[in-house]
Amino acid sequence: MILDEAFEAFREAPSRAAVTEGPDSWTWAEFVESVARTARDLDGGSTDGPVGILLRSGSRYLSSFLAITTLGRPACTLHPDWADRELEAAITDAGITEVITDRTDLPVDVGAAQPGPGARDRDGDDPVFYIGITSGTSGRPKPFARRERSWTSSFGPAGELFEVNRGDQVFLPGSLQHSHFLFGAVFALNRGASVRLFDRFDAARLASELADTSRGVLYLVPTMLIALNELEGEPFGGVHSVVVSGAKMESHHWEIVRRLFPDALVCEIFGASELSFVTVNTRGERPGDPGYVGEPFPGVELEIRTPGDEAEDEPGLVYVRSPYLFDGYLEGSETNSPVGADGFMTVGDMGFLTDEGLSLAGRASNLIITGGKNVHPEEIEAQVTDHPAVAECVAVGVPHPRWGEEIVAFVVTSGTGAGPDADSLRNFLRPRVASYRIPKRWFIVDELPQTRAGKTDRSQVRLFEDAIELGP
């Protein structure tokens, strides 16, 4: 089970602090008991299906996740900031039969749900233990299944690579709904390190605690680096390892991380929800190669594949094979896996492979990564075009120094009634999509550019010169 190695790591000192949140702290023995209590409550349930966790990030979230997995039931991360229609879709599509939550109402009758394909398998030696949710191109959350070994098989290599050991304190200032931080918490406990959880990101509070640590490991997304740097404080000499994921690090991020953590090993991780670890970059930026993301993570094989008629200097699709791949997408009563017969799969990243590692050249898909969160523009567009004053919409990501990419929407009005303004469009979206999916800026255009195939040409949208920005 996923906690077995952690039991060994803390066996010699069960009274050592394992989890800290705010002013509260739990020893390993106390934390294990809280996990056991939750497991006992769940084991008395009437179904064996997946269990959703709809809680704020923190110790209760982590203990609930571990309790569910110790029973062999899949745990599904649900986001408190989702709109009700997104939450309903996730619960239904993942086949969730029970939800741990403080909410008094849910937008769907969980008790009536049919267990999804990730239902309990007590006899399996590698059960589905985690159901994550990715953004869907149809505007509907897309659940996927991951087996336990796809995580645990990476614990050894990650421990050596990130230099996480017994007695370290691992700081996790992001939400546990984000797999980067959830993995970091479970992985840290398995290594015998204590974890420091935060209910929300607060740069000043994090900086204060980092200043006091002597054996710190820090998990971040790039936007957090910028917030820490804006405090203009002293470097954090007690942090010996920094693990960054969620978005590509640019040169200014590397400058910041070197100033703030001069004595730390810095690991930039490139991966995806479906792929887990793909590459790790400990060298920093490479002059003349802004897409560099490092060498393959231990155990990962990479191939660049092209249709065959591209020039040698053109990028190809990045295919990945490793023990860390997910099981597949949950679709109805089936698990649909995009992994090929040869064990390789792609999520649409384009790139080059050299002796130094992988360099990305973009995505074949339209994915936007803003603030470390993945957003498919189609999910926004599907909702915006329901507005009676909008005929067409296209959303794109444009470079932004803090968020990586900022979501910008271009709309063609329907000519019905008064034209929309930015506030009315934002208010229209708020009950329909999570707040981070709402475009920051809105523009009106006469028409959207088309490809020869009659599809919206997203590459040309950013070049609009006659677009009218909506205010305020």
pLDDT digits (tens, 9 = 90+) for 354-395: 899 999 876 666 778 888 887 878 778 878 888 888 888 889
Rounded CA gap, 142 and 94, in Å? 8
Does one domain contain both 24 and 125? yes
Rg of the chain over CA atoms, in angstroms? 23
For residue 81, name the pLDDT band (cuts at 50, 70, 90).
confident
Does one domain contain both 175 and 126? no
Instruction: Collapse the DSSP code of 273 into the 3-class scheme (helix H, G, I; strand E, B; otherwise coil) and give the result.
Output: coil
In a domain, 160, yes or no: yes
Q: What is the pLDDT of residue 115?
A: 61
In a domain, 306, yes or no: no
Give the pLDDT mean for 73-102: 90
Distance of CA 339 to the CA centre of its chain: 20
Rounded CA gap, 270 and 42, in Å? 35
Find out whether 379 and 231 touch, Cβ atoms under 8 Å: no
In a domain, 357, yes or no: yes
Does 124 score more than 70 pLDDT? no
The share of the chain scoring above pLDDT 90, in percent, equals 52
Does 206 score more than 90 pLDDT? yes
Q: Which amino acid would we find at residue 33?
A: E
Does one domain contain both 16 and 143? yes
Give the pLDDT mean for 326-340: 88
Does one domain contain both 75 and 197? no
In a domain, 241, yes or no: yes
Rounded CA gap, 262 and 325, in Å? 34
Does one domain contain both 418 and 444? yes
Ranked by mean pLDDT, the top range of 44-58, 133-147, 199-213, 438-452 is: 199-213
Structure tokens at 243: 């693990």
Does one domain contain both 61 and 183? no
Domain boundary, last residue among 150, 173, 191: 150
Number of domains in the chain: 3
Rounded CA gap, 33 and 396, in Å? 47
Does one domain contain both 255 and 133? no
In a domain, 324, yes or no: no
Give the pLDDT mean for 125-132: 88
In a domain, 140, yes or no: yes
For residue 453, name the pLDDT band (cuts at 50, 70, 90).
very low
Domain ranges, residue 41: 4-150
Q: Which amino acid would we find at residue 471?
A: G
Residues with Cβ within 8 Å of 470's Cβ and at least 6 positions away in sequence, in order, are 420, 421, 422, 425, 442, 443, 444
Between 378 and 202, the higher pLDDT residue: 202
In a domain, 210, yes or no: yes
CATH no. for residue 227? Answer: 3.40.50.12780
For residue 251, name the pLDDT band (cuts at 50, 70, 90).
confident
Tell me whether the omega of the peptide bond preceding residue 472 falls within 30 degrees of 0, making it cis.
yes
Between 471 and 297, the higher pLDDT residue: 297
Find out whether 221 and 403 touch, Cβ atoms under 8 Å: no
User: What is the β-pairing status of strands 194-197 and 169-172?
Assistant: parallel
Does one domain contain both 21 and 146? yes
60-186-279 Cα angle (round to 5):
135
Find out whether 194 and 188 touch, Cβ atoms under 8 Å: yes
Does one domain contain both 358 and 216? yes
Between 250 and 270, the higher pLDDT residue: 270
